[in-house]
């Protein structure tokens, strides 16, 4: 029986979900972490609660894909490679070229590689993953699903920066956003849960995970999003600063005696956000615990996180001239009831009101606002793999 695999290759990781068709049930999922470093960790979940885990050096994504496929056979999850009829790859940057998911041919693969400037950590890894699958399974349906595609509907006034127009025209310097697959999925599910046509709704989707972004979805289309040219912009994240004044960079470089701008950007990407503010951790659970124990820096980090999300929600209510629903998703949005409550309580003037009892849940689809609230607050667990699966099915026909 045929199977479809969804692949999410990060800079040093490769995640997969294997679906049984036509049921679309999950047969197996897993992750290879620390690719290219010592002691890579390879984990596969399968069957009822079975887990395979091994630590070994895996030098690159090509070897990772070979090991993954071989292990799927060795564990009896697939009988041989030919059972896999389709593969969908998450690709971070699609630039202005890719407005929707697309079948991968040599031309598409070259373009994905050429877009490496926009996502230097991710697109090369995505391309290597694609090549590795092409080598092992050259005949199967192969689809690229772009993180930026959903945001290609943004109007010019929202995607252009106020810098000389030539920089956009000559170098494509503009806002692209990210997490598009997630924002698309949760906005569609929210409309279904609310029982209203997506076309009639103004929705603000808050994808709050280790990476976090907020999107204004008007009538099912992304009209603005908080991430920018790269995923560094927007709200405070686990290790990323989110928005800052660009003039701070030369000032800090001078003070810190940093001469390479890449080192400064690395600090903003890897050492800032909740981690840099709290000094405790990039993980929301750790920061919440530290704050509860009286750690003031951790409390300030939380307050800044809530505040930045609230500001973006306010902006997007203005952008769309209204809002019908605010959606929370991803690790923090799905699991932290207190985050949802504090963010919504602070913007109640707009007509949203959390029902504390309904809100006291994790990871289920649910309306968590009071019955008479003008603006609905909705919890939707994201499922980017499902979007990838659907696109492989659709384009493979």
Active-site residue list: 147
Segment lying near ligand AMP (by CB under 6 A), choices 27-35, 61-69, 296-304, 324-332: 324-332
**Residues 6+ positions from 263 with CB-CB distance below 8 Å:** none
The residue from 29, 153, 158, 210 that contacts ligand AMP (CB under 6 A) is 210
Biggest CA–CA distance in the chain, Å, is: 62
| Segments of 108-236 assigned E as strands | 141-146, 202-208, 212-218, 221-225
The answer to whether 68 is a known ligand-binding residue is no
Interface characters, 84-103, with ligand AMP (x: CB under 6 A): --------------------
Answer whether 216's CB lies under 8 Å from 234's CB: no
CB atoms within 10 A of CB 31: 16
Cis link prior to 22 (omega < 30° from 0)?
Answer: yes
**Site membership for ligand AMP, residue 331 (CB under 6 A):** yes
Rounded CA gap, 200 and 206, in Å? 19
Is the distance from CB of 379 to CB of 336 less than 8 angstroms?
no
> Which position among 86, 180, 209, 273 is part of the footprint of ligand AMP (CB under 6 A)?
209
Residue range at the interface with ligand AMP (CB under 6 A); choices 13-21, 26-34, 326-334, 351-359: 326-334
The C-alpha atoms of residue 172 and residue 228 are separated, in whole angstroms, by 12
Angle between helices 284-292 and 296-320 (to 10 degrees): 120
- By the rule CB under 6 A, 213 interacts with ligand AMP: no
Kindly tell me which of 284 and 323 has the beta carbon lying closer to ligand AMP. Answer: 284
4 is in an annotated binding site: no
Instruction: Select from 5-13, 262-270, 283-291, 303-311 the region that touches ligand AMP (CB under 6 A).
Output: 283-291
Nearest approach, Cβ of 345 to ligand AMP (angstroms)?
17
The answer to whether 291 contacts ligand AMP (rule: CB under 6 A) is no
296 and 290 Cβ atoms separated by less than 8 Å: no
Residue of 205, 215, 225, 336 interacting with ligand AMP (CB under 6 A): 336
Using rule CB under 6 A, residue 285 touches ligand AMP: yes
Q: Which of 145, 330, 379, 393 lies at the binding interface for ligand AMP (CB under 6 A)?
A: 330
Within the chain, how many helices (H) and strands (E) appear? 15, 14
Which residues of this protein are in contact with ligand AMP, per CB under 6 A? 209-210, 238, 283-285, 288, 330-332, 335-336
* Known binding residues for Mg(2+): 8, 384
């Amino acid at each position: 029986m045929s199977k479809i695999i969804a692949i999410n290759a990060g800079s040093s990781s490769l995640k997969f979900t294997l679906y049984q068709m036509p049921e679309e049930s999950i047969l197996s999922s897993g992750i290879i972490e620390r690719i290219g470093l010592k002691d890579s960790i390879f984990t596969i979940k399968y069957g009822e609660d079975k887990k395979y885990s091994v630590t070994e050096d895996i030098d690159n994504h090509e070897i990772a894909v070979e090991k993954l496929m071989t292990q799927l056979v060795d564990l009896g999850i697939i009988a041989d490679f030919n059972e896999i009829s389709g593969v969908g790859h998450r690709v971070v940057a699609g630039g202005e070229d890719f407005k929707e998911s697309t079948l991968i041919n040599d031309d598409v693969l070259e373009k994905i590689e050429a877009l490496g400037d926009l996502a230097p950590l991710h697109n090369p890894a995505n391309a290597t993953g694609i090549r590795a699958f092409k080598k092992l399974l050259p005949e199967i349906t192969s689809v690229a699903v772009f993180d930026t595609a959903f945001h290609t509907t943004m109007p010019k006034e929202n995607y252009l920066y106020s810098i000389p127009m030539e920089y956009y025209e000559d170098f494509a310097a503009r806002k692209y956003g990210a997490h598009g697959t997630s924002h698309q999925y949760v906005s569609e599910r929210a409309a279904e849960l609310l029982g209203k046509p997506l076309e009639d709704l103004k929705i603000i989707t808050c994808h709050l995970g280790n990476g976090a972004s907020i999107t204004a979805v008007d009538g099912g289309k992304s009209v603005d999003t908080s991430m920018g040219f790269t995923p560094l912009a927007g709200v405070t994240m686990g290790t990323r600063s989110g928005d800052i004044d660009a003039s701070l960079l030369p000032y800090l470089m001078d003070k810190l005696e940093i001469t390479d701008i890449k080192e400064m950007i690395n600090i903003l990407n890897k050492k800032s956000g909740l981690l840099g503010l709290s000094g405790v951790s990039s993980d929301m659970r750790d920061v919440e615990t530290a704050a509860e124990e009286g750690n003031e820096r951790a409390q300030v980090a939380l307050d800044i996180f809530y505040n930045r999300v609230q500001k973006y929600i306010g902006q997007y209510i203005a952008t769309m001239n209204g809002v019908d629903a605010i959606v929370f998703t991803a690790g923090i949005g799905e699991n932290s009831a207190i985050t949802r409550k504090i963010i919504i309580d602070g913007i109640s003037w707009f007509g949203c009101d959390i029902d504390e009892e309904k809100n006291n849940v994790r990871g289920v689809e649910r309306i968590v606002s009071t019955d008479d609230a003008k603006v609905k607050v909705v919890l939707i667990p994201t499922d980017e793999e499902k979007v990838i699966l659907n696109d492989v099915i659709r384009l493979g026909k």
